[in-house]
Chain A
Amino acid sequence: MSLSDAMKERLTNDVKNNNVVLYMKGTKDFPMCGFSARAAQVLKAAKVDFADFNILDDNDLRLGLKEFSEWPTFPQCYIKGEFIGGSDILLEMYESGELQEMLKDLQKA
């Protein structure tokens, strides 16, 4: 098992204390993978602030998240504590307007 109690607690707090979280390869300003870049771009286009965590810097985080989210790939996005999915789902939700609706109360002016 890669998901320790400490990691579980950390992740639970991460996604509770930040309305929008993106676990990604690289950072929102310097993404290291096309899919992570796309996910960050979608969130920027949706005009919300989000916390970014670079899973390439932290192997425990990377392995822990795979179990925590039951999801094998990155990026992974959480909104208001709920697992939303990866970049494909984010993009689909942006294109359908579902994402903007979900983030309505968080959008920057």
Chain B
Amino acid sequence: MTTDEIEKLIKNGLPDASVDVRDPMNDRTHFEATVLSPSFKGKTRVQQHKMVYAALGDSFDGPLHALALKTGVPN
């Protein structure tokens, strides 16, 4: 999986989000993402992460091993 593919999936599910996906170890397995979206407003962190996971669908059952996630509402 590539950072572009992950970014695309998240953006499909959360069209108003700004998404930054990184592959810090360059192994295409352990990714980091920062997702900022107005739709996170009033949501708990658990709810925000669940919205991102929903966008990623069943990727975690296959090509996506690990994604360190930071979510928030844009300033």
Interface segment, one of A12-20, A68-76, A101-109: A68-76
Closest Cβ of chain A: how far from B63's Cβ, in Å?
13
- B41-58 interface bits toward A, Cβ cutoff 8 Å, 1 = contact, 0 = none: 000011001100100100
Q: Is B69 close to A, CB under 8 A? A: yes
Q: Place the interface of chain A in its size category.
A: 10 to 19
Q: Is A56 close to B, CB under 8 A? A: no
Using a CB–CB cutoff of 8 Å, the interface residues on chain B facing chain A are 30, 45-46, 49-50, 53, 56, 60-61, 66-70
How far does the alpha carbon of A65 sit from the alpha carbon of B19 in the complex, in Å? 28
10 residue pairs A–B, Cβ–Cβ below 8 Å: A35-B66, A71-B49, A72-B60, A72-B61, A73-B53, A73-B67, A85-B45, A85-B49, A87-B68, A92-B70
Say whether chain B's binding surface is mostly helix, strand, loop, or mixed.
helix
How many A-B contacts at CB < 8 Å in the complex? 34
Per the 8 Å Cβ criterion, residues 28-86 of A in contact with B are 33-35, 70-73, 83-86
User: Chain B residues near A88 (CB, 8 Å)?
Assistant: 49, 68-70
Closest Cβ of chain B: how far from A3's Cβ, in Å?
15
Give the residue name and chain of the B residue nearest to A85 (CB): B46
How far does the alpha carbon of A89 sit from the alpha carbon of B53 in the complex, in Å? 14
How far does the alpha carbon of A89 sit from the alpha carbon of B60 in the complex, in Å? 18
